[in-house]
Amino acid sequence: MVATAEKSEQRLSMQTDEIAADTTVIRSLDWDRDRFDIEFGLQNGTTYNSYLIRGEKTALVDASHEKFRQLYLDTLRGLIDPTEIDYFVISHTEPDHSGLAKDIMQLAPQAVVVGAKVAIQFLENLVHQPFEQQIVKGGSELDLGNGHVLQFVNAPNLHWPDTMFSYDVKTQVLFTCDAFGLHYCSDSLFDEDLGAIEADYRFYYDCLMAPNARSVLSALKRMDKLGEVTTVANGHGPILYYNVDELVERYRRWSKEQAKADTTAAVFYVSDYGYSDPLSQAIARGITKTGVAVEMIDLKSADSQDVQELVSRTAALVIAMPPASGNSAKATVTTISTILAAAKAKQAIALFESYGGDDEPIDPLLNRFRDLGLKEVVPAIRIRETPSEGIYQECEEAGTDLGQWLTRDRSIKQRKSLDSDLDKAMGRLSSGLYIITAQKGDMTSAMLASWVTQASFQPLGLTIAVAKDRAIESLMQVGDRFVLNILEEGNYQHLMKHFLKRFPPGADRFVGVKTQTAENGSPILTDALAYLECEVVSRMECSDHWIVYSKVNQGRVSKAEALTAVHHRKVGNYY
């Protein structure tokens, strides 16, 4: 069944289908969702998936984003009389799934709301009226009859502190909300085309789950104790059915990789205050790009022993400013006191505003950390307007700067340690000199590159190796466009010097450089010998680099006789 609403230029539609015995998915298809959270970087829209399970009793698992109010509620009413819903299961309370919770609670006042304690408290604050409720914990069961028994699995931090999976023992469907999801909107209900979705699946993991890798591993351990999982009924994107084992194993592999890092940064945020959550994700993503593990923790619901333990073993503390007053303030003040008591001299500290309208001021807290001997490695991020792409970029780059500072000894050691024949032999690999320039929305970036090579004739294509901790890496995802500027022999020093500078987070790399705009929107360096307009087709992970394969759509040479600048190196363990 499909229903559509045209709203300005945005396309919203609904899709429902049976995915297992007595189990119907209600998918809200958001084809053109704008990028406003960092994990939407691939711009393939998204879906919000909600499920109806009909045993002798009926359960609705999650709902939808409020922009789907009319469409979702009409679709739901077409499937069931809401007064026949017995249970409303809330996997977590982020508004993209529970934005219509209040509407459903009004349409189905008899339904018992089922969720973790934190989720129920959140809803109590949201609706301000009593409702039937059932708090569940990991291991709790809910018998819907006809064999449909829901077993609940604690999955905190995937992606909010209150997240709870549920597993139907009859259908072997595991309902996971954000986990194992992806922002990918298509008519396909399922994951039959792995090639089409895997880049989005990985990007979503990197943004939302990598900063919680230890929590992912804990949730996977709990999942292992369940019966067989034939279907992962996620909250975003195609439902996993054809590639369940493969895609679940990827979470395990990536999370183990993250969790084995020997340096950890703690990122404290407030799950439902201002822009604390998406801004902290952007910072966390920037940190994880450097190979530093991140653990995110909610200032409001954190357990004080967990906070103490985390603070005592991390190299850096990143804190989103909590609200100065209101419901959450008391809990957050207690957590901040715990952090202050456990913090150690020489740890790095980074503070940023949440832009929630009532943020605690940064400076008094920063001064207390300074007095304790902590080091302010990146400047505090002060936000004066609704966060734009540029601000998210600044946060990500600040995170990367922090991660690079934390791993500086490792980087220096890597450069020094290898002085063998092998190293010198590798150094004889030579290449050209290039500058990649990119613009995506209001974000721009640039990077000096030398590991570039032609890779195909039809279409014309090339590969570029980009270190994982490069800022521009975020603008070189599948489908992104950029320009490869080819530098000229004898006429590149000024450009090389400019782009090798260390830029502060979010800085405009093009100030003082002559540019023109390419058809794909990225800057062309006027002084380059030639340029190629490229579009990313695929990416291959190669240890500490991504190999980015791109097709070349057009290009031009400015001087017919000039030669490309060549980069000769002495050793192979550094550029």
Is 298 one of the binding residues for ligand FEO (CB under 6 A)?
A: no
Contact 329, 296 (CB under 8 A): no
The edge-to-edge listing of strands for the beta sheet with 58-61 is 2-7, 10-20, 23-30, 46-54, 58-61, 87-89, 112-115, 133-135
x/- letters, 390..429, toward ligand FEO (CB under 6 A): ----------------------------------------
Q: Is 68 or 160 the residue whose CB approaches ligand FEO more closely?
A: 160
Cβ within 8 Å of residue 357, ≥6 positions away = 274
H-helix or E-strand spanning residue 101? helix 101-107
Q: Is 148 or 236 the residue whose CB approaches ligand FEO more closely?
A: 236
Considering only residues 236 through 265, tell me which ones interact with ligand FEO, judged by CB under 6 A: 236
Least separation in angstroms between CB 182 and ligand FEO: 11
Considering only residues 83 through 102, tell me which ones interact with ligand FEO, judged by CB under 6 A: 92, 94, 96-97
One-character DSSP codes across 476-489: -STT-EEEEEEPBT
Q: Is 158 or 436 the residue whose CB approaches ligand FEO more closely?
A: 158
H-helix or E-strand spanning residue 399? helix 389-406
Question: What DSSP character marks residue 359?
Answer: B
Residue 26: both structure tokens together: 């209600």
Least separation in angstroms between CB 507 and ligand FEO: 31
The phi, psi pair for 336, rounded to 5°, reads: -65, -40
**Which residue in the set 45, 99, 161, 235 belongs to the binding site for ligand FEO (CB under 6 A)?**
235
Residue nearest to ligand FEO (CB): 94
Least separation in angstroms between CB 271 and ligand FEO: 9
Least separation in angstroms between CB 96 and ligand FEO: 4
Q: Is 94 or 359 the residue whose CB approaches ligand FEO more closely?
A: 94
Least separation in angstroms between CB 208 and ligand FEO: 7
Q: Is 33 or 470 the residue whose CB approaches ligand FEO more closely?
A: 33
Token look-up 């909600």 returns: 50
Q: Is 94 or 533 the residue whose CB approaches ligand FEO more closely?
A: 94
Is 65 one of the binding residues for ligand FEO (CB under 6 A)?
A: no
Q: Is 236 or 470 the residue whose CB approaches ligand FEO more closely?
A: 236
CA angle 451, 453, 457 (to 5 degrees): 160
Q: Is 96 or 488 the residue whose CB approaches ligand FEO more closely?
A: 96
Least separation in angstroms between CB 534 and ligand FEO: 32
d(CA 288, CA 264): 9
Q: How many CB atoms lie within 10 A of CB 161?
A: 21
d(CA 279, CA 573): 34
Is 178 one of the binding residues for ligand FEO (CB under 6 A)?
A: yes
Residue 520: both structure tokens together: 């794909």
Considering only residues 109 through 168, tell me which ones interact with ligand FEO, judged by CB under 6 A: 159-160
Extended beta strands in 253-412, E state: 264-269, 293-298, 316-320, 348-352, 375-376
Least separation in angstroms between CB 156 and ligand FEO: 12
Q: Is 160 or 392 the residue whose CB approaches ligand FEO more closely?
A: 160
End-to-end C-alpha distance for the chain, whole angstroms: 55
d(CA 282, CA 294): 12
Contacts with ligand FEO by CB under 6 A: the residue count is 9
Least separation in angstroms between CB 288 and ligand FEO: 18
Least separation in angstroms between CB 470 and ligand FEO: 28
CA angle 358, 359, 360 (to 5 degrees): 120
Q: How many CB atoms lie within 10 A of CB 18?
A: 11
Residue 287: both structure tokens together: 């940190």
- Smallest CA-to-CA distance from 540 within 51, 121, 198 is with 198
Q: Is 33 or 159 the residue whose CB approaches ligand FEO more closely?
A: 159
Q: Which residues bind ligand FEO (CB under 6 A)?
A: 92, 94, 96-97, 159-160, 178, 235-236
